[in-house]
Structure 1
C-alpha cells in the first residue's frame, strides 16, 4: 500500500503589495484549479511579508511585517486552508515573539482550518538577517500520508537540522527558501546530500526572479531529482510523493546497499561528540516511529 502525497511548489516572487495577503487566496485557488488533486501547497520563504530580500537593511520592513501567531494573518490563512480543504504551507512569515523577538517562522495549516505547526528558523543567515534564533526542531504528522519536518533556507547548510528531523521520524523535509545570491547551485547539491544521508524526501521551494534565483526542486530518498524548475521564472512544480519510498529505502538501503539507520548494534559503545559536549548513543540512533 502506498502513501501518496500530491504536492505543488509555487515558485513565485514575494508579494510586495502594501497588503501582501490581498489576492493570495485567488493565487492558491488558481493552483488548485490547475492541479485539483493537490493535497499540499508550499510557498517560498517570506512570501507574504511584503519584503524583497533578507538583507539587514530591510530590518525596518521586517519589523513592520511582524505579527504574533494569534494575529489576523494567521487567522486568515487558517480560514483559507479550511475553506479549500488542503494542507497550506504559505512559506515563512515575520513573527513577533512574546517578548518582542523577531522570528522567521514557517507555518503549516491543516485542511480543518487550524495552525497545525510552526517552526522558527534556527540558523538565521548572519550577519545579514536580524532574526532571533529558534530553539527546537519541528515535525508534523499528516494523517493521510506521513511525517513532515521543517527547515528554512540557511538551515539546510547545517546537517544537524536534517539529521534531527529524520531521527524524529520526518519522511519529507520542506525547505522554503529566499535565495537571492549566487549560491543556489550549492544549495541544490546540499538538498540532494541531505536526502541521501537521511533517506528522506527534500522539497526546496525558492523565490522566483527577478528577486530570487528559483530552481526549486524535489529530491527523493535516494538523492534523485524528481522535478526541478529550469530557471528562476515563476512556475508551479507538481509531484506525487510516495512516502512508502522512505520505508523501502530504509529497509533495503540506498541503491540497495546503505542502511545507515541500522548501522549500530546495542552492544556498540557510545561515541563522544566533543563539538556538542554530548555523545551518540547507539541505542538511541534509529528514527522515531511515525
Structure 2
C-alpha cells in the first residue's frame, strides 16, 4: 500500500509583514515535523508567504508589486533550505511570482526534501476582477518517488471542472489546492472539491 500523509495547516499570515509571516510559517513546519513524524508533505493557504491582509481591510499601495518575487529567487532559496532541514515536501501555498517580462503570476510551488523546485504552477483562473495576477496557461503535476503523482491547483481553479479533469488526465492521483477564502462561498468551494474528487477519482 502507498500512503501519503499530508498536513494542511490552517494558518494565517501576519498581514503585510513578510518576515514575521515567514518566521511563523517556518516554525509551524518545524513543529509539524516534530509532532507528526509520519507526515511527508506540508501545505498552507494560498498567498500565505505574500502576507496578504483581510479582503476588505486597508492595504499598502502596490503591495502585490512589492512582494512579487522571482522563481527561483530569495523566497524559494529559503523554502528549499527549510525542506532540506525538515526532510519534508513543501507546497507553501502560493506566491506572487514576477516573470522575466515583468508580469506577475499567482504561483504555487512544490519543493522536494532535496531542496529542489519540483514544480511551479501559475494559477489559470484568477478570481477576477479582484485578483490582478496574470492567468497562467497550463496545468502542472509532479512525482513523489514511491508514492505517486500530485497535481497543483489554486483556490478558484477548483470552480472549473476542467482543472481537476486535466490534472487527472496528466496522471495526478492527488490534487493539492491551496485556497484563500474567508467569505461565505467557502461552503460552495467544498462542494466543488468533493465533486472534483469523486468524478475524477482523485484526492483533493
Tell me the secondary structure at the aligned position of residue 33 of structure 1: helix
- Residues 139, 168 of structure 1: 8 Å contact kept: yes
The Cα offsets for residues 135-193 of structure 1, whole Å up to 9 and x where unpaired, read as 11000011121000011000000111110000000000111000022101111110110
- Residue 34 of structure 1 deviates from its aligned partner by 1.3
Instruction: Provide the rounded CA distance (Å) in 2 between the counterparts of 1:18 and 1:10.
Output: 18
- Greater share of strand: 1
- Residue 13 of structure 1 deviates from its aligned partner by 1.2
Determine the structure 2 residue equivalent to 1:14.
Answer: 13
Determine the structure 1 residue equivalent to 2:44.
Answer: 43
Alpha-carbon spacing, 1:8–1:18, altered in 2? closer, same or farther (3 Å): closer
Determine the structure 2 residue equivalent to 1:27.
Answer: 28
Tell me the secondary structure at the aligned position of residue 62 of structure 1: helix
- Residue 61 of structure 1 deviates from its aligned partner by 1.0
Which structure would you say has the larger RCO, counting Cα contacts within 8 Å and 6 or more residues apart?
A: 1
Determine the structure 1 residue equivalent to 2:109.
Answer: 107
Answering whether residue 133 of structure 2 is matched by residue 131 of structure 1, we say: yes
Aligned residues: 201
The Cα offsets for residues 104-155 of structure 1, whole Å up to 9 and x where unpaired, read as 0001100101111110000000000000000110000111210000110000
Tell me the secondary structure at the aligned position of residue 95 of structure 1: strand
Determine the structure 2 residue equivalent to 1:189.
Answer: 191
Worse-superposed segment, 106-115 or 6-15: 6-15
The Cα offsets for residues 177-221 of structure 1, whole Å up to 9 and x where unpaired, read as 00022101111110110011101001xxxxxxxxxxxxxxxxxxx
Tell me the secondary structure at the aligned position of residue 138 of structure 2: coil
| Larger gyration radius, structure 1 or structure 2 | 1
Instruction: Provide the rounded CA distance (Å) in 1 between the counterparts of 2:25 and 2:12.
Output: 12
Match of residue 159, structure 1, among 152, 161, 185 = 161
Instruction: Provide the rounded CA distance (Å) in 1 between the counterparts of 2:142 and 2:53.
Output: 29
Q: TM-score, normalised by structure 1?
A: 0.66
- Residue 53 of structure 1 deviates from its aligned partner by 4.6
- Residues 18, 50 of structure 2: 8 Å contact kept: no
Aligned CA RMSD, in angstroms, stands at: 1.6
Query: Where do 5+ consecutive residues of structure 1 fail to align?
Result: 203-290
Query: Where do 5+ consecutive residues of structure 2 fail to align?
Result: none
Q: TM-score, normalised by structure 2?
A: 0.94
The Cα offsets for residues 232-290 of structure 1, whole Å up to 9 and x where unpaired, read as xxxxxxxxxxxxxxxxxxxxxxxxxxxxxxxxxxxxxxxxxxxxxxxxxxxxxxxxxxx
Answering whether residue 53 of structure 2 is matched by residue 52 of structure 1, we say: yes
The Cα offsets for residues 66-110 of structure 1, whole Å up to 9 and x where unpaired, read as 010021111110111011111011110111011111110001100
Determine the structure 1 residue equivalent to 2:89.
Answer: 87
